[in-house]
């Protein structure tokens, strides 16, 4: 009988379930989406039950897609920084608040400016920013948020689902780290952060390594998925370190770049590394591995914005994204010296500024929508390069670059990445690297594989993409200009942000 393992990845907008053979071959997959609600400007919330239903449906469809066989194990992956207020029985008292929620900007600014904020970052490795549950909890405390006052527990989405499915409260190291409440040096909850959030350790789950096994799946859930109730589920981790594992970027000098809705660049390290500049994150992953990197708020969402508002030509029967890239290729690399700072949703690394805005710089009458499109896509990659410069200060220069996520399916976009970094880009056949990383950890947890590092021999890879020297030279001349844009425009961004939050002006604009 064929043996499978599965990775279940709870992303920002969808649950993805992928079944693999032990050699890393995809034999079944499914994806089920769920919406993000924005009840007020800057808020980003989700229905936890919608996420759970999508997870069950995706697993069921992936198992069905794989056909007959034995499911050995399931590994869990999730997006970072989610927060649910729950009662003692894991009943949600609040929506799931996502990483994109920035209602706590004032609390983030105040904490970041304080000596305690710097010390919390150095201990937890989580930059002080509205994305983190620590800062969300501070907002809840300061505003008297009713679910916060009533809550017995504070859980991430993945913790909430495992509590419902297995009846226990455990959280893997990397999800715990992303909360901003976890000491990455001691792998325990950090008292200084708990004090800043106004909560106690008893309201949080027990931290466990990624190979911790959940057993005893709720029978109704097992039946709904179509698997045995005794199927072991490994705690896994957050999607970032699991993407590194699933793509094979686990040794020093190996960087992984992921671009989906947002984006990130990450490297593994054998020890935690932070500094007072607070430009990158550092999260615990296993007992002897940490993940360092930086996320950008702006990745595939910029592509969507370009499609909707910049590249508006009729495409006929052609895929609109394909048409966008086709037209962009008629413009020379560098977009005739047009640059785009892609901070459409504020920005995380390396600026950690929720008030940052997008901006075209260098626009002239000779530029067309195709120039603006090319500059927009190049701006996303320039942002990743900016984060890589901050990361290299702590990890050293990357010698190998691996790519995963939705953007890795675009040959044009990956070629642009190779040209910009001037390095070969290594690509897996499957873009579901977080799911494969989670699945591999589950195999390790049940003793089917000897270690995590051996995954390198079980990642089906495509041919690497090689940079073009002449194009790299163009980007090398433009990058120093791009790297100075944020600092030059920051005062204007903050003045505009203040105007946008001025209730008097907001009321006048609606008349």
pLDDT tens for 26-38 read 999 999 999 999 9
The backbone torsions φ and ψ at residue 28, rounded to the nearest 5 degrees and listed phi first, read -165, 140
Contact 339, 379 (CB under 8 A): yes
Question: Which tokens sit at 135?
Answer: 């800062």
Is the C-alpha dihedral spanning 385, 346, 157, 169 positive or negative? positive
Closest to 437 in 3D by CA, of 55, 3, 6? 6
Q: Where are the beta strands (DSSP E) in 152-227?
A: 153-155, 170-172, 182-183, 188-189, 206-208, 213-214
Sign of CA dihedral 506, 508, 509, 510: positive
pLDDT for 507 beyond 70: no
Give the mean model confidence (pLDDT) for residues 391-405: 91
Comparing 48-57, 88-97, 280-289, 428-437, the range with the smallest average pLDDT is 428-437
Residue 289 and residue 250 in contact, taking contact as beta carbons nearer than 8 Å: yes
More confident residue, 408 or 424: 424
Tokens of 58: 């995706």
Q: Is there a contact between 64 and 28 (Cβ–Cβ < 8 Å)?
A: yes
Residue-level pLDDT at 509: 44
pLDDT at 371 over 80: yes
- May I ask the CATH class of domain 300-398+468-509? alpha beta
Q: What is the 3-state secondary structure (H, E, C) of 364-421?
A: CCCCCHHHHHHHHHHHHHHHHHHHHHHHHHHHCCCCEEEEECHHHHCHHHHHHHHHHH
Let me know the angle formed at the C-alpha of 287 by 285 and 292, rounded to the nearest 5 degrees: 35
Predicted model pTM: 0.91
Residue of 297, 256, 294, 271 lying closest to 127 (CA atoms): 294
Domain boundaries, the chain: 3-296+427-458, 300-398+468-509
Q: Which residues contact 87 (CB under 8 A, 6 or more apart)?
A: 93, 150, 151, 152, 153
Task: Render 264-278 in DSSP notation, one character per residue.
Answer: EEEEEESS----TT-
Work out the average pLDDT over 140-157: 98
Interacting residues of 7 by C-beta distance below 8 A, sequence separation 6+: 17, 18, 20, 74, 75, 76, 77, 236, 242, 246, 432, 434, 435, 436, 437, 438, 439, 442
Q: Can you give the pLDDT at residue 326?
A: 87
3-296+427-458 and 300-398+468-509, same CATH topology: yes
Tokens at 308, concatenated: 């909707």
- The region of weakest confidence among 63-77, 225-239, 490-504 is 490-504
Q: What average pLDDT does this structure show over 406-410?
A: 85
Measured from the Cβ of residue 326, the count of other Cβ atoms closer than 10 Å reads 14
pLDDT at 394 > cutoff 80? yes
Look at residue 413 in the predicted model and tell me its pLDDT.
93
Task: State the DSSP H helix or E strand holding residue 20, giving kind and residue range, or none if neither.
Answer: strand 14-20
Nearest alpha-carbon partner for 175 in 165, 161, 191, 192:
161
d(CA 109, CA 352): 10
User: What percent of the chain clears pLDDT 90, i.e. is strictly above it?
Assistant: 84
165, 242, 244, 286, 502 from 452: Cα distances, Å: 26, 11, 11, 10, 52
pLDDT at 392 exceeding the cut of 90: yes
Give me the DSSP letters along 436-491: HHHHHHHHHHTTSSS-SGGGGGG--B-PPBPPPHHHHHHHHHHHHHHHTHHHHHHH
Supply the pLDDT for residue 184.
Answer: 98
pLDDT of residue 317: 57
> For the residues 132-150, what does the mean pLDDT come to?
98
Average pLDDT over residues 463-485: 98
Q: What is the tens place of the pLDDT at every residue in 77-106? A: 999 999 999 999 999 999 999 999 999 999
pLDDT at residue 505 tops 50: no
Instruction: Quote the CA–CA distance of 175 and 207 in Å, as a whole number.
Output: 9
Residue-level pLDDT at 475: 98
> What homologous superfamily is domain 3-296+427-458 in, according to CATH?
ATPase, nucleotide binding domain (3.30.420.40)
Residue 359 CA to residue 380 CA, distance in Å, equals 12
User: pLDDT at position 66, please?
Assistant: 95
Tell me what the mean pLDDT of segment 248-257 comes to: 94
Tokens of 82: 């989610």
Alpha-carbon Rg for the chain, nearest whole angstrom, is 22
Between CA 247 and CA 433 the distance in angstroms is 6
CA distance 269 to 264: 16
3-state secondary structure of 17: strand
pLDDT digits 0-9 by tens, 159-189:
999 999 999 999 999 999 999 999 999 999 9
Largest Cα separation within the chain, whole Å, is 69
pLDDT of residue 325: 87
Tell me which residue of 240, 242, 235, 231 sits closest to 206, measured CA to CA.
235
d(Cα 236, Cα 413) in Å, to the nearest integer? Answer: 30
Per-residue pLDDT, averaged over 232-250, amounts to 96
CA distances from 84 to 13, 149, 377 (A): 16, 13, 34
Percent of the chain with pLDDT over 70: 97
On the question of pLDDT at 511 being above 50, the answer is: no
Mean pLDDT, the chain, integer: 94
Q: What is the pLDDT of residue 167?
A: 98
pLDDT tens-digit profile of 294-313?
999 999 899 999 998 987 76
| Kind and range of the H or E run holding 112 | helix 105-112
Q: Is-contact 33 57, C-beta < 8 A? A: no
């Amino acid at each position: 009988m064929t043996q499978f393992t599965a990775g279940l990845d709870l992303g920002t907008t969808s649950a993805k379930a992928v079944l693999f053979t032990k050699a890393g071959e995809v034999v079944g997959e499914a994806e089920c989406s769920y919406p993000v609600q924005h009840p007020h400007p800057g808020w980003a919330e989700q229905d936890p039950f919608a996420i759970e239903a999508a997870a069950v449906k995706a697993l069921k469809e992936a198992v069905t897609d794989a056909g007959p066989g034995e499911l050995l194990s399931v590994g869990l992956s999730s997006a970072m920084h989610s927060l649910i207020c729950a009662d003692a029985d894991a009943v949600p008292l609040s929506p799931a608040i996502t990483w994109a929620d920035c209602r706590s900007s004032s609390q983030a600014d105040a904490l970041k400016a304080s000596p305690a904020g710097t010390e919390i970052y150095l201990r937890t490795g989580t930059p002080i920013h509205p994305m983190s549950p620590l800062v969300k909890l501070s907002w809840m405390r300061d505003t008297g948020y009713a679910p916060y006052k009533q809550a017995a527990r504070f859980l991430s989405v993945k913790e909430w689902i495992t509590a419902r499915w297995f009846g226990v409260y455990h959280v893997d190291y990397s999800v715990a780290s992303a909360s901003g409440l976890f000491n990455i040096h001691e792998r325990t909850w950090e008292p200084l952060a708990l004090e800043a959030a106004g909560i106690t350790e008893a309201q949080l789950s027990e931290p466990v390594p990624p190979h911790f096994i959940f057993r005893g799946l709720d029978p109704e859930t097992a039946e709904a998925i179509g698997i045995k109730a005794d199927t072991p589920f490994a705690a896994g981790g957050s999607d970032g370190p699991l993407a590194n594992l699933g793509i094979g970027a686990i040794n020093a000098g190996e960087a992984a770049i992921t671009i989906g809705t947002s984006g990130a660049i990450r490297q593994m390290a054998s020890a935690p590394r932070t500094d007072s500049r607070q430009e990158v994150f550092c999260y615990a992953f296993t007992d002897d591995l940490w993940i360092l990197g930086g996320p950008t708020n702006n990745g595939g969402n910029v592509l969507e914005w370009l499609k909707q508002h910049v590249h508006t030509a009729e495409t006929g029967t052609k895929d609109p994204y394909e048409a966008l890239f086709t037209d962009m290729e008629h413009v020379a690399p560098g977009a005739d010296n047009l640059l785009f700072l892609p901070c459409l949703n504020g920005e995380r690394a390396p600026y950690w500024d929720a008030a940052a805005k997008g901006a075209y710089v260098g626009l002239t009458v000779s530029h067309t929508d195709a120039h603006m499109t090319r500059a927009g896509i190049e701006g996303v990659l320039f942002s990743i390069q900016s984060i890589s410069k901050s990361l290299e200060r702590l990890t050293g220069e990357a010698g190998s670059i691996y790519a995963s996520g939705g953007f890795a399916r675009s040959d044009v976009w990956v070629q642009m990445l190779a040209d910009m970094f001037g390095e070969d880009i290594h690509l897996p056949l499957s873009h579901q690297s977080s799911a494969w990383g989670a699945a591999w950890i589950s195999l390790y947890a049940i003793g089917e594989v000897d270690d995590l590092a051996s995954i390198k021999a079980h990642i089906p890879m495509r041919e690497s993409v090689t940079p073009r020297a002449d194009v790299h030279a163009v980007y090398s001349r433009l990058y120093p200009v791009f790297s100075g844009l944020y600092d030059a425009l920051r005062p204007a961004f903050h003045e505009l942000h203040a105007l946008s939050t001025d209730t008097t002006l907001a009321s006048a604009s609606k008349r």
